[in-house]
Structure 1
Amino acid sequence: MRILLVEDDKKLNESLAFQLKKEGFLVDTCQDGEEALYYIEENIPDLILLDRMLPFISGTEILERMRQAHNETPVILITALGSLDDKVTGLDSGADDYLVKPFAFEELMARIRCITRRPRRMTQDDQLTLGDLTYCLGENTLAGPEGSCSMSKREGALLEAFLRNSGQTLSRSLLLTRVWGIDSDVEEGNLDNYIHFLRRRLKAVGSSVHLRTVRGIGYRIEA
């Protein structure tokens, strides 16, 4: 799971990121609202830990923008504002949970586990289609004329980026950011490997959908 940690207190940001990584999470961090929106608009995180009081754009405004754009990524607000009115405002803005500072890391982990145990609400967005190809996000399965197959999380994230932008050429840098994260030091050869894996998946299910190489730029998916 990839977590976006938005916290303007540098020491707390670094401490939480370190502990979350020890628990096996992929963690992206930022310290202001504008940078947080960039990550969110790129559909990078699976879960967001969001400070309420941030430079440039507040956490509640970020939440309201997300929900207005029908972005249902789970959000836990982490804030020093702990009155009943503060909690009600935060939850009404679209937060899934509200954690008041200071808090024990064990409590944060319990709340993360609680959110990830919740059954996903199936929506039209849980299935992406292109031509004779269907990708189910919830089950991470790919189906075509000749059958179906399961995919790894990284394969699924890469395919999702293509299907949400079908017919558009996606740059290598954008794909690396979307799938591996903006701070990752992954080598570009890994992207080429996963493009190869996806092409094998498309062939395995008998799909006529193609991943085209656009030399010097990146890749494009076409029906």
Structure 2
Amino acid sequence: MRILLVEDDRKLSFTLSFQLEKEGFLVDTCEDGEEALYYIEQKGHDLVLLDRMLPSMDGITVLQRIRKKGIFTPVIVLTALGELQDKLTGLYTGADDYLVKPFAFEELLARITCILRRPGKWESCEELVFHDISFHVEEKILTGITGSCTLSKTESRLLELFLRNQDQVLPRNLLLLKVWGYESEVEDGNLDNYIHFLRRRLKSVGSKSLISTVRGTGYRLEKHV
């Protein structure tokens, strides 16, 4: 699961990122509202931790704009403003939760866990199935008609995206953001390399499923006809 942490307090941002990564999350960070708005609009994250008081654009404005655009990525607002009216403003604007600073990391983790339990959220222990293959997310094991194999971490993230968006065209920029993160210096060609690796993996387990290239856009996992 990839989290976008929007926090202009660099010390707090570093601490939270470190703690979340220890819990197995992938964390990207930014420090101002306009940058946060841009990255949320790319829909590359599964959860946003959004500070309310930010440079360039405050968190409530960011929240208003993304909800108005029909973007419903879960958002937990983090803020020092703890009055009842402040909480109501955040929740009515579209926040999924509201946590007042200072807070214990254990409480933040519990709230994240509660959001993940909601229907439609990703579960790391599940098995994903498409046509003639199945993929165990936690163990990173791909199984097909003739056998099984264990995928690398990057291969697993990429295949999981395809399996959760079957028969849909996934743009290159979305794949790069979801798998490597926007702060990564990964070269664009790395995506093509890993697509090649996945195609070989599918073939090695006897699958007829295809990762097809959609020229000028991205890739799509589809059933071989």
TM-score, with normalisation over the residues of structure 1?
0.72
Q: Which residue of 2 aligns with 1:104?
A: 104
Please identify, of 152-161 and 4-13, the stretch whose mean Cα deviation from structure 2 is larger. 152-161
Q: Which residue of 1 aligns with 2:212?
A: 211
Q: Structure 1 regions of 5+ residues with no counterpart?
A: 127-138
Please identify, of 67-76 and 178-187, the stretch whose mean Cα deviation from structure 2 is larger. 178-187
Q: Which residue of 2 aligns with 1:155?
A: 159
Would you say the 8 A contact 1:163–1:221 is kept in 2? yes
- CA drift of 1:39 comes to 1.7
Please identify, of 97-106 and 181-190, the stretch whose mean Cα deviation from structure 2 is larger. 181-190
Change in Cα spacing, 1:23 to 1:210, as seen in structure 2 (3 Å) is closer
Report the Cα distance in structure 1 between the residues aligned to 2:69 and 2:117, rounded to whole angstroms.
24
Q: Structure 2 regions of 5+ residues with no counterpart?
A: 136-141, 143-155
Amino acid corresponding to residue 206 of structure 1 in structure 2: K
Q: Deviations over 1:113-154 (max 9, x none)?
A: 221122228xxxx9xxxxxxxxxxxx673534xx34336333
Would you say the 8 A contact 1:90–1:98 is kept in 2? yes
- CA drift of 1:205 comes to 5.0
- CA drift of 1:74 comes to 1.3
Amino acid corresponding to residue 104 of structure 1 in structure 2: A
Would you say the 8 A contact 1:143–1:149 is kept in 2? yes
- CA drift of 1:180 comes to 1.0
Q: Deviations over 1:64-114 (max 9, x none)?
A: 222223322211100011111110110011111100011111211121122
Q: Is 1:143 equivalent to 2:130 in the alignment?
A: yes
Report the Cα distance in structure 2 between the residues aligned to 1:199 and 1:143, rounded to whole angstroms.
15
> Number of aligned pairs?
199
Would you say the 8 A contact 1:155–1:194 is kept in 2? no
- CA drift of 1:14 comes to 1.6
Q: Percent identity?
A: 57
Report the Cα distance in structure 2 between the residues aligned to 1:205 and 1:72, rounded to whole angstroms.
34
- Give runs of aligned pairs for residues 9-158 of structure 1, distance below 5 A: 9-120=9-120, 141=128, 143-144=130-131, 147-150=132-135, 152-157=156-161
Report the Cα distance in structure 2 between the residues aligned to 1:21 and 1:202, rounded to whole angstroms.
30
What SS does structure 1 have at the residue aligned with 2:107? helix
- CA drift of 1:190 comes to 5.1
